[in-house]
Chains A and B, each alone.
Chain A
Amino acid sequence: MTSDLLVVTALIGLSSSAVGAMAPLRIRMHLSVALTIAACASGFVMAAEVLHTGRAAVVHTTALLPQSGLSMVLDRFGALFVAVSAVVGIGAMVFRLGYHGQGLSSRTASCILPLFVTTLLLVPAAANVTTFLFLWELMAVTSLLLVLVDHRRRSEVASAGQWYAVMTQFGAAALLVGLVLLATHTGSQSFAAIAARSTHLPAGVRDSAFVLVVVGFGSKAGMVPLHVWLPRAHPEAPGPVSALMSAAMVNLGIYGIVRVGDGLLGGGPAWWWLLVMALGALSALFGSLHSATSSDLKRLLAYSTTDNVGLMLLGVGASGLFASTGHRALALVALVATLLHVVFHAVFKGSLFLSASSLQQATGTRDLDRMGGLLRRVPLTGTIFLVGGLAMAAMPVLCGFVSEWLLLQAMLHGLPSSDPAIAVAMPIGVGALALTGGLTALTIVKAAGIGLLGQPRSTGAAEAHEVGPSMRLGAAILATLCLVFGVAPFLVVPSVVDAARSVTRARIPDPLVGGWQVGLAGVHGALAPGLLALALLIAVTLVAGARRMLQPTPARRTQAWGCGRDLQTATMEYTATSFGEPLTRVFEDVLRPAHDLDVSHAAESRYYVEAARFHTSLDDAFERHAYRPASVGLGRWGALARRVPNGSIHRYLAFGLVALIVVLVVVG
């Protein structure tokens, strides 16, 4: 039955793409969106069924891809990712119904968007190298086209598209080499056969394949230092697309690393996982630092995606490290924590990107410095943004808290270990996680405090109106899930445990205490988010009641950020830039802010200032020190190479002659 659903999902997805390409303009958008939602629903039902029964969905056909055939097997691990993509897809598609502008209504976009969603649903089911690479490339190309839909009107889009195209092709090349290396050395390109034979491969092959695969998947996940495309492409993509990319597509990078590292290669030496942990810690810190200092709302969210991917990588690395040193139970806990974070990140980042797009549409700007007072003007969208943001900051009773708490627990319980690698890596990991958590909280205080509270800082913000109902609904679905999963994580935890077990093939008892509690069997520490929520509710009621009783006269109310002043104007308020300024100063060596102060004096006296302009911008350290020199070098090399073919036919013929002679000498 699940196998049929797999075919049905693919067919509905393809037909919605065809409808998007061919249906008349009047019904095109609604029909293709409805079909895409149907594909997501079918994918979700299939994934739920696989997760529940544990019986994989299997589809093999030699009719579609030449030579290798199309081979798809959806096990529990893949099904978890399909379910996540399906939920995000439904939210984004409902949102898309009301979303206008940024070129998404063109024929190309309405054909490509369903295709992109379909590939997100199908990639985790691929069961041989060719099928996987085919679907992976399809996903990369469709997402690239969707990033580019608005390129005619804004030049930043084209630049973002170029960055994305280069990085995704670089990653795909690394993946291709890594997977082909495995396939040739095991003599089969089916994932099952590779998994069965990979333990006997030479260490050199396994090591190089793993590193290549981490590079390939890491570039898609936005791992530092391959993240440079992400803060460009995600913000420039249309709202629903940016949500899909940030909440669903980056997950597949994590999927790939776990699938290959734990599944196909069956675990590896400690240094693999120390590498992954190091990259994860770097991504988490770098991403959170940039998102805390960014004042472009969608760029901020994009950097926070890098930050959360870093946390996931930290968990994957910790899990692998535990497994390689024999701590199987802790390894499983760390992997479960990672996968929970994948699920929860998808939910809160989806709601954040969708509500941020709504805010952008309502105010006409993405710049936090031009927003303000939006919670009063667009209450529902503002609340959704707040809920998603608090979940991202890992506030209790929202979902981010559960996964980050579990990850922290797993790493802390590794501390007493006698293994030196663990004894060194875990404290660093815990420290990175803690600092990231703090920076993320700061980010959300900034984004919500500056954007939603205070006085409007521009006419766009002052005249903001609530967006259409379907946009609100799409974002609200995901925000509601943030709350539901936060209070009742037992809805997803068993499935996630099953998924983690299916990929590691570990035969160990359930490491987590079920029921209303989430905890670790065998070690101390348990969390009951439901009770926590209840306690919080009681505490809030008590405090509010006590305050009312003790203080009968109502307090004087003034504007937020007004410091109690009465004659507060928008220009006196804190802005996002000024809020992040102390942090920028502390991390000046990493962020290297560029300030530009332009003061013009009055003609009569230079003691009077006529106008002052202050401009500040932050550079990405990796972009400045690695990518720009590399791109300049490549440009020079290209200019040199262009001089070789000068148009002379004789020169071209000489190339042929030289090549012929070289071939003759080498072969002969």
Chain B
Amino acid sequence: MSGSPFTSTLTLAVGAVLVCAVTVVWLSSVRSVIRVVAFQGVALGLVVLVVGVHLGDPGLIATAAVVLAVKGIAMPFLLERSGGGALTRETRPLVNVPASLVASAVLIVVAFVASRGVAHFVGSTEGGLVPVGVATALLGFFVLVAKRRPIFQMVGLLMIDNGIAMVAFLCTAGVPFLIEMGVSLDVLLGVVVLMVLAQRLRSEFGDLDLDELQELHD
């Protein structure tokens, strides 16, 4: 990477998103995970801001502000509210922490191998960073699969969305404001649905383990 301020800032922000994703896989404390994902939202906002400033596009800068507000503040706040209380740790994940980290490494390699084509197609600095977005989305998916607490499912969903949004911003030099709003609202809705599911789980089974739902299988 060359030393221009645009490139180094963008790389830093994108790198922060990925570091946050790996940290979520690693951590088990619910409160820290929410904080990490909030930081990921802020880093994503920074990515959009950098691209916006670089292109001199006021619409994109406005989008950056919205992303920052929704993903850095609003959603973590909602998560905090639903996840706060007695349950503070993921005590028995389906895949233990060392194995999760190995899996994360594998997923990141897969993401880089898989998105070679896209990266080559986009070219320049942004293209080189596209695999990081794909890796973030895959790690989000992995969190969905590997953790038992519904709060982690919300976090994973949020990470998938962050990864996809980052790929979109990097590839197309700015997603129209309206589309970004639509996608963010979708994820918000998903989080709300999961929150309701978590509440119902707690009241039905007295626990927050998603695998309790297996009892519903015929």
Instruction: Given A650-B94, A665-B113, A668-B114, answer yes or no on A657-B141 (Cβ-Cβ < 8 Å).
Output: yes
The answer to whether A62 has its CB under 8 Å from any CB of chain B is no
Contact B142 A664 (CB under 8 A): no
Residues of A within 8 A of B118 (CB): 668
Interface of B (DSSP majority class): helix
Contact A656 B141 (CB under 8 A): yes
The answer to whether B16 has its CB under 8 Å from any CB of chain A is no
Contact A653 B113 (CB under 8 A): no
Instruction: Given A650-B211, A664-B134, answer yes or no on A657-B217 (Cβ-Cβ < 8 Å).
Output: no
C-beta contact mask, B178-213 vs A, less than 8 Å → 1, else 0?
000000000000000000000000000000001101
Closest CB in chain B relative to A471 CB, distance in Å: 48
With beta carbons under 8 angstroms apart, the residue of B110, B141, B213, B216 that contacts A665 is: B110
Instruction: Given A649-B211, A656-B141, A668-B117, answer yes or no on A661-B110 (Cβ-Cβ < 8 Å).
Output: yes
With beta carbons under 8 angstroms apart, the residue of B107, B115, B145, B210 that contacts A668 is: B115
Contact B114 A664 (CB under 8 A): yes
Complex: A493 Cα to B186 Cα, angstroms: 71
Residues of A within 8 A of B117 (CB): 667-668
Closest CB in chain B relative to A650 CB, distance in Å: 6
Residues of B within 8 A of A648 (CB): 210-211, 213-214
Contact A657 B214 (CB under 8 A): no
Interface members, chain A 534-587 (any B CB < 8 Å): none
Interface of A (DSSP majority class): helix
Instruction: Given A647-B216, A648-B211, A649-B213, answer yes or no on A660-B113 (Cβ-Cβ < 8 Å).
Output: no
Closest CB in chain B relative to A638 CB, distance in Å: 15
Instruction: Given A660-B138, A664-B134, answer yes or no on A647-B213 (Cβ-Cβ < 8 Å).
Output: yes
The answer to whether B54 has its CB under 8 Å from any CB of chain A is no
Residues of A within 8 A of B214 (CB): 646-648
The answer to whether B92 has its CB under 8 Å from any CB of chain A is no
Residues of B within 8 A of A654 (CB): 145
With beta carbons under 8 angstroms apart, the residue of B110, B134, B138, B210 that contacts A650 is: B210
Considering only CB atoms and an 8 Å cut-off, how many residues of chain A contact the other chain?
16
- Closest B residue, CB atoms, query A651: B145
Residues of B within 8 A of A667 (CB): 114, 117
Complex: A668 Cα to B141 Cα, angstroms: 18
Closest CB in chain A relative to B115 CB, distance in Å: 6
C-beta contact mask, B34-63 vs A, less than 8 Å → 1, else 0?
000000000000000000000000000000
Closest CB in chain A relative to B200 CB, distance in Å: 14
The answer to whether B144 has its CB under 8 Å from any CB of chain A is yes
The answer to whether B89 has its CB under 8 Å from any CB of chain A is no
Contact A660 B141 (CB under 8 A): yes
Interface members, chain A 604-657 (any B CB < 8 Å): 645-650, 653-654, 656-657
- Closest B residue, CB atoms, query A663: B114
Complex: A653 Cα to B194 Cα, angstroms: 14
Complex: A657 Cα to B146 Cα, angstroms: 11
Closest CB in chain B relative to A389 CB, distance in Å: 52
Closest CB in chain B relative to A422 CB, distance in Å: 59
Complex: A647 Cα to B144 Cα, angstroms: 15
Closest CB in chain A relative to B46 CB, distance in Å: 26
Residues of B within 8 A of A645 (CB): 217
Interface members, chain A 477-508 (any B CB < 8 Å): none
Closest CB in chain A relative to B121 CB, distance in Å: 11
Residues of B with Cβ closer than 8 Å to A?
94, 107, 110-111, 113-118, 134, 138, 141-142, 144-146, 148, 210-211, 213-217
- Other A-B contacts than A661-B107, A668-B113, 11 sampled, CB-CB below 8 A, are A646-B214, A649-B213, A650-B94, A650-B148, A654-B145, A665-B110, A665-B113, A667-B117, A668-B114, A668-B117, A668-B118
5 pairs of A and B residues whose beta carbons are closest in the complex: A647-B217, A668-B114, A664-B114, A647-B214, A653-B145
* A-B contact list, 30 entries, CB within 8 Å: A645-B217, A646-B217, A647-B213, A648-B213, A649-B210, A649-B211, A650-B94, A650-B144, A650-B146, A650-B148, A650-B210, A653-B141, A653-B144, A653-B145, A656-B141, A657-B138, A657-B141, A657-B144, A657-B145, A660-B141, A661-B107, A661-B114, A661-B138, A664-B114, A665-B110, A665-B114, A668-B113, A668-B116, A668-B117, A668-B118
Residues of A with Cβ closer than 8 Å to B?
645-650, 653-654, 656-657, 660-661, 664-665, 667-668
